[in-house]
Amino acid sequence: MTGERKLVLTRGMFKENPVFILMLGLCPTLGVTTQVINGLGMGAAVIFVLVFSNIFVSLLKNVIPNSVRIPSYIVIIAAFVTIVEMFMHAFAPAIYKSLGIFLPLIVVNCIILGRAEAFANKNTVMDSFLDAIGMGVGFTLAVTLIAFIREVFGSGTITLMAIGGFDGVIEIPLLYTYPVRIFSLAAGALLLMGYLKAFFEWTANRKRR
Query: How does pLDDT run along the chain (209 residues), one tens digit per residue?
Result: 677 778 888 888 888 889 988 888 888 888 899 999 999 999 999 999 999 999 999 999 999 998 899 999 999 999 999 999 999 999 999 899 989 889 998 988 889 999 999 899 999 999 999 999 999 999 999 999 999 999 999 999 999 987 777 888 898 888 888 888 899 888 888 899 989 988 888 887 887 77
In a domain, 169, yes or no: yes
For residue 202, the one-letter residue type is: W
- pTM beyond 0.75: the answer is yes
Q: Helix, strand, or coil here: 173?
A: helix
In a domain, 99, yes or no: yes
In a domain, 39, yes or no: yes
Cα–Cα–Cα angle for 29, 30, 36, rounded to 5 degrees? 70
**In the chain, count of helices (H) and strands (E)?**
9, 2
In a domain, 25, yes or no: no
Q: Which domain holds residue 168?
A: 3-20+33-208
> In terms of Cα–Cα distance, which of 25, 68, 69, 31 is closest to 47?
25
> In terms of Cα–Cα distance, which of 75, 39, 41 is closest to 57?
75
In a domain, 28, yes or no: no
Question: What is the number of structural domains in the chain?
Answer: 1
